[in-house]
Structure 1
């Protein structure tokens, strides 16, 4: 009997072993190091005959078990990473177990994605006419939105870029204020070129676009269409462009409005903060990331668009008879970059169904409250300097030291803080200063986590700063 046949015979036992390992890991998330990585020796020699599932799990435990960090835990505040809700985990396990292709309309997978997108539009208050679909993450959502914008730009000049390519269109521009790095990456992939992004000034002391400066730029184009990428939650300070004011400009100037709301879109869940998104219902395309504040597993995000005809012009599987006629038979694979993909909608369906609008309102409001608490603690401590008001869920600060040693001390502080395993934060630069950012979007995070993190922060800052004079 081969190892594969033997594993088939004992599938239930293998799943039980996997469950026990997973349960042990999840039960220790509150105690695990947030970002303290144990060095792992790589053994890149594939076995000739294989060892079977049970032995593979044991080898995994021995080689990698101590190097599993708590990126899904309550004190991982690096990047913008949510955890995995219990219901989302259920959905993800089922996704792997049933192994359905999201393009297969002969099974329930198509209906599940359609229903999940409907739930999400209701959660975010987006109009029914928006078409939504799942992609791997915010990068691919931004890529899809910009691809539609590129198609729209071409059509303004009588060219079908999806069909005929970019020839004759060397001067296409993307305009933004504080774009995420994935915007430039998407431009490179789309043939628009990273250097063709035009950055409009921000308001003083903000990361929000100066709408008057944007209008002056649009007026200077004399009717030439562009793509504008609005920020609905910048990564450093969660600042928002005035989307309503930008929408008003669309009445006078031709541009495609893409809203990058990767995590800022979840402000729609909160009565206190949903005004930040006023006007986004008039956008042409919107990015929202699911493995951030929705707290479902990697990889999952959504692209919403009010121009599905442009989507299909770009992403259709023309000439693939076995996939059917894109014009006559709707299928998500004709509206996004991927054909074969896992059923990313199911973890989201489980979590949305399990916790509802109220559950996500509580997650968002709790994270914002805790971020404000951390900001208040930082303001009260002379070792730190808050660089921006805490607008939503990210706290951006630096060490209160002289400029000539700031970068060195910030690096020392972060290295020591992350090595402590108590909390993880990331480096950044804000207003030209070396800075630190903490992003709180995990459903597990509590006030005790904030206090635990702050205690580690103060101890490490005191040790590192020692005799240095405050700025």
Structure 2
């Protein structure tokens, strides 16, 4: 096999191979190990020298399926709790295949009116889902990190205006550091965005009243007042990764209005709190933010990778990321914009297709039902662990996060961190469930994130059974 032109008649057959693998793979997910370490040896079989003469589509797809279905981390299944990672709903998976089939250049209206229209509709539906004003601008990004870059870059443009400088055109040279304030709940991706934007990750100052990171509002207000009218950015956090804690966004919005600040909200998974009457109060005030970040490959359960950025004034997006100003890239003329002038990407996959499909397939009611079920599973897991004599919750379950640690009787406090690290390693080696280590409030424990559309109470119960088995083995070796 040489020129791909000679391989064109195999496209349907290659896709057929993948299609035939779908049923057996998905059907086996409930019984599969989340990760089978014994299959890691297969990864070496994907390497070797680059073939001089290609082996063809069918052979290559067969090899990838042979290794991939065995050696992959099966995070699309119901028991991957390690990171805040959803799976991919049936509608989203099929639409993602469609995105690959159509292979649209999704940044320009002229290159794909389809991609532009689907993104416009999907963003409108997301604003309805989250209760955001329809007037907000938006863009789909590869991740929450790039969504933070989008929102905070717009904040940087706004901040430059207040110093009389067009930052997009002239840069930051000669300007003071942009003040950025947050609580102790702030996620590293917000700092990373500031790092990428040239503002400096370490310029962000946090104000916390306790070791959980909850905000010290008087201290935050005092810092804003000390600026004596100079502009600043406040980062609010809707769902931290350790305990699901949320900043009081209404109070943050009040401070932003009082001191003329820009409010940016990190709602990577916490934006979905707006869907349930049980948790909507946690998001009160998010609709007053100037920019908002959310993730699609978390609680929306669309394939990697997908994030969202919403900006109150779309003009800041256009000024920050566009226009191109070259003749071969004409500006959009119509109701759908060129999305590569509203965010950091120029070459853009049509990520909106799976977002549109899953929202259309399940609607508001379906997504609310999924969130409600995950809240129930988190509460159920918390109750099971609370009833276990050798485990303690590190915080009450909030949203989809359950953090806990193994604390058997008779083990000295100074040995518990190492014991919990050993337990986590045993869980990952076992592979039936996947749980992550985390240090919260100064102690080492384990953390579960429950966002996969397949996850039910039975998966939480299996996790507890696995914990009992593995801790018994650890105790036997002690």
> What's the TM-score once normalised by structure 1's chain length?
0.95
Q: SS at the partner of 1:80?
A: coil
Indicate the residue corresponding to 2:56 in structure 1: 52
Residue 261 (structure 2) aligns with: 255
- The answer on whether the counterparts of 1:99 and 1:342 sit within 8 Å (CA) in structure 2 is yes
Counterpart position of 1:417: 427
Residues 151 and 162, structure 1, Cα contact 8 Å, conserved in 2: yes
Q: Partners of 1:285 and 1:251 in 2: how far apart?
A: 14
**Structure-2 residue corresponding to 1:460:** 470
Structure 2 partner of 1:362: 369
1:217-243 deviation per Cα after TM superposition (whole angstroms, max 9, x unaligned): 211222222111100000111111000
Partner of 2:36: 36
Shift of 1:59: 2.1
Cα drift, residue 325 of structure 1: 4.0
TM-score between the two structures when normalised by the length of structure 2: 0.94
User: Aligned to 1:432, which of 430, 442, 452?
Assistant: 442
SS in 1 for 2:178: coil
Aligned to 2:395: 388
**Match in the other structure for 1:231:** 237
The residue number in structure 2 matching 1:87 is 91
Whether 2:412 is the aligned partner of 1:405: answer no
28-37 or 355-364, which moves further after superposition?
A: 28-37
- Distance 1:359-1:164 versus aligned 2 partners, 3 A rule: same
Alignment partners' CA distance in 2, 1:99 and 1:325: 21
1:330 and 2:337 correspond: yes
- Give the whole-Å Cα distance in 2 for the aligned partners of 1:402 and 1:242: 37
Shift of 1:450: 1.1
Query: Per-residue displacement from partner, 1:200-257 (whole Å, max 9, x unpaired)?
Result: 114x464431222211221122222211110000011111100011111123212110
1:441 matched residue in structure 2: 451
In structure 2, do the counterparts of structure 1 residues 350 and 379 end up closer, same or farther at CA, with 3 Å as the change threshold?
A: same
Superposition deviation, residue 454 in structure 1: 0.9
Structure 1 residue 2: deviation in Å? 4.9
CA distance in 2, matches of 1:36, 1:175: 43
1:451 and 1:114 map into 2 onto residues whose CA distance is: 41
Distance apart, 1:380 and its partner CA: 1.1
Q: Which moved more, 1:349-358 or 1:210-219?
A: 210-219
Superimposed CA distance per residue, residues 338-397 of structure 1 (whole angstroms, 9 cap, x where no aligned partner): 111110000011111010001000110101100111111111112111011101110011
- Counterpart residue number, 2:125: 119
Checking the alignment, whether the CA contact within 8 Å between 1:3 and 1:51 is kept in structure 2 is no
3-state SS, counterpart of residue 70 of structure 2: helix
- 1:26 counterpart = 2:36: no
TM-aligned CA distance change 1:205 to 1:192, over 3 Å: closer
* CA distances 1:249-303 after superposition (whole Å, capped 9, x unpaired): 1232121100000000001111211111111111000001000000000011110
Q: Per the alignment, in what secondary structure is the counterpart of residue 76 of structure 1?
A: coil
Contact 1:416–1:460 under 8 Å retained in 2: yes
1:284 aligns with 2:290: yes
